[in-house]
Amino acid sequence: MKHFIVQNPFISPKELNLSETAWNDSSSANPTLPLNGLRLAVKDLFHMAGLPTSAGNPTWLATHPIPAKTASSVVALLNNGAIFSGKTITDELAYSLNGQNIHYGTPSNPVTPNRLPGGSSSGSAVAVSSDLADIGLGTDTGGSIRVPASYNGLFGLRPTHGVIPVDNMVSLAPSFDTVGWLTRDLFTLERTANTLLKNKPPKEFNNVLIAKNLIDQVAHVDELKTQLKAWREQGLLPSESSIVIDTKAWKTSETFRTLQGAEIWQQHGKWINSLDSLEGVFAPDIQSRFEWCQTISEAEVATAKQQRQRFSNWLENEIEGAVLIIPTTPGLAPQFDAADEELAAYRNQLMDITAIAGLAGLPQLHLPVCTLHGAPCGLSLVSSKGTDLALIEFAKRLME
C-alpha cells in the first residue's frame, strides 16, 4: 500500500523529502473492526509519528521538528480498521476558507473544476470527492469542514466543540478548533462518528426550526425551499417553526473573526516574529490576515467575548430539544478567477453563517441535497451540544 500518493490533493513524498514507506501504520484487515478497509486521508495539520507536518507552509515545515507522537484521533481511526492513504493539502496554517495553496498547489474540485474546492480541509475533501479516500479527516475552526463539504457535494460534520481531543496537531484558534470529517455517504460518516465520539444513545428532537431569513438570502434559495417542501410532504418535518437569526445584529462574523484572530496571534505570533523575513513565506491574503491579527486590542477581545456569550446563551435556549436548519454557505463555490475583492466580500458573508455554530460550539452537519448550475450546494442541521449522534440519526431519516 502506498502511504503517500504523488497526486493532487495529497502531499507528495518528493515535496516532503520522504520515501513512500516513511510511515507504516499497524492496521491490518480485520472484518470485525468498524472501519475495516476504509481509506483515510489525513489533513496535514495532524501529527503522525515520524512524518513531518507542513501545515500547508514550507517555512513551517523547515522550522519545526518531525513529530514523535500521532494525534489520538488518527490513532483511533487506524485502530478501528481505517487504512492510511496519505496526508492532504491544507490552506496555510488552516487560515482560509478557499482551499488554495500557493506552495503545494490547489486541489482541483472534481465536481466543478472551474470553482474553488473550499478550505482549509480542501485536500481531504477533494480526496474523498475524487474517490481516492473514504474518510477525509480534517479540522473545522471557521467552517473548514462544512464549506468544502458544500463545494464538493459531500457530507461533513463539525462536532460539538471539545468532544474530540485536538492533541498532537497544529492549532489555529483553540476555543473554536474541532476535529471533523467528510464522507460521500452518511453510513460512513456515522461509522466514523461512532469511533471518535462518545457513543451516547441518540435522543429524539421535538421540533424543527428553520432559519427562513437566512435561507431567503442565499443564491440557492429556490433549491432549498424545494427540498424542504419535499420533506414536509413526506412527513419528515412533522413539527416545524421558523426562527430568525439576525447575523448582522448579532455581529456573528465580526465577533468570530476578532476572537479567532486574537487566538491565532497567541498561537503563531511568536513564530512569525522569529522569522528573519516574511518575503515569500505566506500568500498575500494570508499574510495580511496575520498582520491584522496583531492589531486586535484587548478591549476588542473583551467586547467580542461578551457578545459571544450573549449570542451563545440566546441560541442554545432557542434550539433546546430541536434541530435547526440553516444554509451552509451563501452560495456556490467561487470561481477560480474571482477577484480578490469579491472573495473578501464573500468570505464575510460566509462567516456570518459559519460563525453561528462556531461561536456557540454546536454540532453542525452539512447535507449535499441540491445543485445549482451544475455545482453542489445544500443545507446544514445544527443542534445542541452533545447531540452529534442524534443529529446524524435525524439526517439519516431525511436522506432515506
What whole-number distance in Å separates Cα of residue 105 and Cα of residue 99? 10
C-alpha cell at 261: 484572530
- Taking the CA atoms of residue 230, residue 129, residue 150 and residue 169 in that order, the dihedral angle to the nearest 10 degrees is 140
The average confidence (pLDDT) of the chain is 92
| Least confident segment among 6-10, 17-21, 315-319, 327-331 | 17-21
pLDDT cut 70: percent of the chain above it:
93
- Contact, 142 vs 260, CB < 8 A? yes
Q: What is the pLDDT of residues 108-166, one digit of tens each?
A: 999 999 999 999 999 999 999 999 999 999 999 999 999 999 999 999 999 999 999 99
C-alpha cell at 336: 477560480
- Contact, 312 vs 161, CB < 8 A? no
- Taking the CA atoms of residue 365, residue 370, residue 375 and residue 378 in that order, the dihedral angle to the nearest 10 degrees is -30
pLDDT of residue 199: 63
For the chain, helix, strand, coil in percent to 5 are 40, 15, 45
Q: Which residues contact 67 (CB under 8 A, 6 or more apart)?
A: 47, 48, 49, 50, 51, 52, 53, 168
Show which residues are catalytic.
Answer: 43, 120, 144
Q: What is the pLDDT of residues 45-80, one digit of tens each?
A: 999 999 999 999 999 999 999 999 999 999 999 999
Q: CA nearest 53: which of 81, 33, 74? A: 74
Task: Specify the pairing of strand 83-88 against strand 39-43.
Answer: parallel
What whole-number distance in Å separates Cα of residue 149 and Cα of residue 232? 25
Q: What is the pLDDT of residues 260-308, one digit of tens each?
A: 999 999 999 999 999 999 999 999 999 999 999 999 999 999 999 999 9
pLDDT of residue 14: 58
Task: Specify the pairing of strand 375-382 against strand 322-327.
Answer: antiparallel
Which residue, chain included where needed, has cell 476572537? 259
Say yes or no to pLDDT of 16 above 90.
no
pLDDT of residue 20: 47
Say yes or no to pLDDT of 6 above 70.
no
* Of residues 142 and 30, more confidently modeled: 142
Q: Which domains does the chain have, with CATH numbers?
A: 39-196 (3.90.1300.10)
| Separation in Å, CA 131 to CA 38, 118, 223, 287, 307 | 11, 17, 26, 33, 42
Q: What is the pLDDT of residues 335-366, one digit of tens each?
A: 999 998 999 999 999 999 999 999 999 999 99
Q: What is the pTM of this model?
A: 0.95
Q: CA nearest 323: which of 297, 375, 276, 362? A: 362
